[in-house]
Amino acid sequence: MAVAKSRAKSRSRGVKGQARLLQGNEAASLGALAAGCDFFAGYPITPASEITESMSRELPARGYPFIQMEDEIASIGACVGASLAGRKAMTATSGPGFSLMQENLGYACIVEAPVVVVNVMRGGPSTGLPTNVAQGDVQQARWGTHGDHPAIVFCPSSVSECFELMVKAFNTAERFRNPVIFLADEMVAHLREKVVLPAEGDLEVIDRRRPTVPPDWYVPYKTDGSLIPRLADLGQGYRYHVTGLVHDERGFPTRRADEVEPFYARLFGKISRHFDDLMLTKSFSLDDADLVLISYGCTARACQAAVRLGRERGLKLGLLQLLTLWPFPRAAVEEALTGKRMALVPELNMGQVSREVKRVNDGRTQVFRHSKMDGSMITPEEILQRLKEVV
Amino acid sequence: MSMVHRSVVYDWLRHDKKFPHVWCPGCGLGILLGSLVRSLEQSGFDKNQVVLVGGIGCSGRLPVYVDVNTVHTTHGRALTFATGIKLAKPDLKVIVVMGDGDATAIGGNHLIHAARRNLDLTAIIVNNLNYGMTGGQYSPTTPLGSKATTAPYGHLEAAFDISALTVTAGASFVARSTVYHVTQLDQMLLTALERKGFNVVEVLSPCHTNYGRQNRLGSQIDMLKGFKKQAVRMERWDKMTPEQREGRFSIGVLAEHTRPTFWENYQGAIKKARAAKGEG
């Protein structure tokens, strides 16, 4: 009893505007709750289970539903169902479960259901390296589900970013009516760091736009200039049809080219029209740098250290950290590459982001990759060593 | 009587959807649709409070015609979406329509766990003994020895008994009927709509276009007459010998019991969680 009491105390002590020691997964859960998450369905998998466990404690206390489903397919299915019924829903998994979720992730895309999917990356393919760190799911997060579709993917490098980006993930899902993937990695998810959580009033929380017209006037997929339709909760009085088939403005299946083409144009357009709001990056010592590192997730932390060490050794080294992986932050990357002697992209895969950087580079500078796939982190010394090789 | 029924059906259908429907002439799904609408009318639910969830296949196309909240989901996963909807808004009446392949092959895992969990859902499983929409391949309910487009030499596997499966998995109410036995079907659907817990109605329905054609069972009328001949009321079935049961199947209520639903149990978790928070 005494133990339970002191634990509860420490939990409430650290809530607002105060420093706390938190694990990445814990911070992600707290970020979700702060953003208004009121539904969670998941399936156990390392290294994401702490999120599922913490939601199983926190949601009942708030009177909200939590459920552990029979698999990851069911978990995301339940989340999309709950989302259509008006909830802010989240699920959390790792690579093997993320593969299973691809089917209903596509469904969320086509019916435009806001939902947040956490994938804490571990070594793959298949069961792979449970549960060493890896960054091998970057392209899967973009292209995993079949059919061409837009994707929004955020990637934290620190525990405080786990909190902040999770709030951003919910806000983005709600605003754009699109699934958002929160692509963490084992290292960041299990890292413990000091975090200062923002006070409740300091957080911007966005809710989906719901219809304001009478039910008879509601045309479910008709939009204004934002291209983002208003979403009625199931049971709110707006009886309409939701389908994974391509549909017309009323939500009914269609194969008419003059309805199909505008459907896809809007699905992509609602994201591309707002690219600027989605591109999150951070730069470190880039202003006078002639060598640039481009990285993300746990590897960006090693890069931050490499920048410090390199500067001590007289290298004009800088870092562009990507917090948004998709849509690919083209403008920021182009700017970081322009006028540089060379660029290096360290990552825990065989070049999933470096190929994007090379695509965007378009002759600006020389781009090299530094890949590592042995289940461990890239160290700052390795980065500096690789720089020495390529310069 | 028939006039009354027509107007009830008209009342519950959507009129902004481009009819005709997608089903073959003579398909049993239209009979089921009528039966469902009559049961909904009789149960007195408000249209706004009803959510009809479908999977993929011929049966998955049923929700779109009904003037309630309708969700056409992915193959086999209808129950998972329905679980999310019901938990999100426990006051809604959530009904799931699935086919035999949908519910017991690709969605078999979801079916047994939904039955075990006992959330308040009504599951209607339309069993036409094959995959109709894709052209008559064998499903988990195709009888041993039957022809299918993927069993040209006769089916090699034993069939699932869907109702028995869901009884074993823990469903609160399980009943089986056919689209020939419409009065019984109306009654079963009404019960399945009004009871608490996970309630299953298995509906035998003819697919004369694929299963019937390949197995030389004649027209849709012949197949309905076949249901009449083969279906045996549960009370009689229990007294029959295995030899007498050969080539026949039972219809009626297989299970009816009450146990706490997931949502009722969840109220206990909410209380405990709040008490734990309060202690701090």
Chain segment A281-311, per-residue pLDDT in tens: 999 999 999 999 999 999 999 999 999 999 9
Q: Between A and B, how many residue pairs show a Cβ–Cβ distance under 8 A?
A: 156
d(CA B119, CA A65): 13
Predicted ipTM of the assembly:
0.96
Report if pTM > 0.90. Answer: yes
Section B237-247 average pLDDT = 96
> Which of A69, A111, A241, A245 is the best substitution to test chain B (most B C-beta atoms within 10 A)?
A241
Q: What pLDDT band is residue B1 in, cutting at 50, 70 and 90? A: very low
Inter-chain touch A73–B87, beta carbons under 8 Å: no
**Nearest alpha-carbon partner for B142 in B97, B100, B205:** B100
The pLDDT, as a whole number, for residue A6 is: 37
Measured in angstroms, the CA of A202 and the nearest CA of chain B are apart by 25
The Cα–Cα gap between B122 and B32 comes to 14
**Does the distance separating the beta carbons of A69 and B83 come in below 8 Å?**
yes
Positions in chain A short of pLDDT 70 = 1-17
Nearest to B73 among A61, A67, A107 (CB): A107
Q: Does B15 touch chain A (CB under 8 A)?
A: no
User: What is the Cα–Cα distance from B80 to B108, expressed in whole angstroms?
Assistant: 12
The domain limits of chain A are: 2-202, 284-390
pLDDT digits (tens, 9 = 90+) for A134-156: 999 999 999 999 999 999 999 99
Round the CA-based radius of gyration of chain A to a whole number and report it.
21
B77/A74 CB distance under 8 A: yes
Say if residue B74's pLDDT is above 90: yes
Asked if residue B16 has pLDDT above 90, the reply is no
User: What's the pLDDT at A16?
Assistant: 57
Q: What is the average per-residue pLDDT within B217-225?
A: 97
List all residues of chain B from 52 to 111 with a beta carbon under 8 Å from chain A: 53, 63-64, 67-74, 77, 79-85, 87-89, 91-92, 109-110
How high is the mean pLDDT of chain B?
95
**Which pLDDT score, from 0 to 100, does residue B148 have?**
98
* Confidence at residue B3, expressed as pLDDT on a 0 to 100 scale: 52
- Confidence at residue A269, expressed as pLDDT on a 0 to 100 scale: 97
Query: CATH: 3.40.50.11390, 2.60.120.10, 3.40.50.920, 3.40.50.720. Which one for A284-390?
Result: 3.40.50.920
Say if residues A247 and A221 touch (Cβ distance below 8 Å): yes
Give dist(CA B205, CA B126) in Å, integer: 6
Q: Taking the mean position of all CA atoms in its chain, how far away is CA B26?
A: 19
Which domain, by its residues, includes B138? 2-279
**pLDDT value at residue A13:** 40
A78 with B83: Cβ contact below 8 A: yes
pLDDT at B36: 98
Q: Is the dihedral of CA A204, A205, A206, A212 positive or negative?
A: negative
- Looking at residue A14, its pLDDT comes to 40
pLDDT digits (tens, 9 = 90+) for A347-366: 999 999 999 999 999 999 99
Q: What is the mean pLDDT of residues B31-54?
A: 97
**Mean pLDDT, rounded, for B92-104:** 98
| Chain B residues within an 8 Å CB radius of A236 | 48
> For residue A60, which residues of chain B lie inside 8 Å, CB to CB?
266, 269-270, 272-274
- Asked if A319 and A286 count as a contact pair (C-beta separation under 8 A), the reply is yes
Q: Three-class SS string for chain A?
A: CHHHHHHHHHHHHCCCCCEEEEEHHHHHHHHHHHCCCCEEEECCCCCCHHHHHHHHHHHHHCCCCEEECCCHHHHHHHHHHHHHCCCCEEEEECHHHHHHHHHHHHHHHHHCCCEEEEEEEEECCCCCEEEEECCCCHHHHHHCCCCCCCCEEECCCCHHHHHHHHHHHHHHHHHHCCEEEEEEEHHHHHCEEEEECCCHHHCCCCCCCCCCCCHHHCCCCCCCCCCCCCCCCCCCCCCCEEECCCECCCCCECCCHHHHHHHHHHHHHHHHCCHHHHCCEEEECCCCCCEEEEECHHHHHHHHHHHHHHHHCCCCEEEEEECEEECCCHHHHHHHHCCCCEEEEEECCCCCCHHHHHHHHCCCCEEEEEECCCCCCCCHHHHHHHHHHHC
- What are the pLDDT digits (tens) for A272-285? 999 999 999 999 99
What distance lies between CA A317 and its chain's CA centroid? 28
B134 phi and psi angles, rounded to 5 deg: -90, 0
CATH of the domain spanning A2-202 = 3.40.50.970
Same fold, A2-202 and A284-390: yes
Distance CA B228, CA B211 (A): 18
Q: How many domains does chain B have?
A: 1
The CATH number for B124's domain is 3.40.50.970
Minimal C-alpha gap between A81 and chain B (Å) = 4
Q: How far is the alpha carbon of A143 from chain B, nearest alpha carbon, in Å?
A: 19
**Cβ–Cβ of A81/B276 closer than 8 Å?**
no
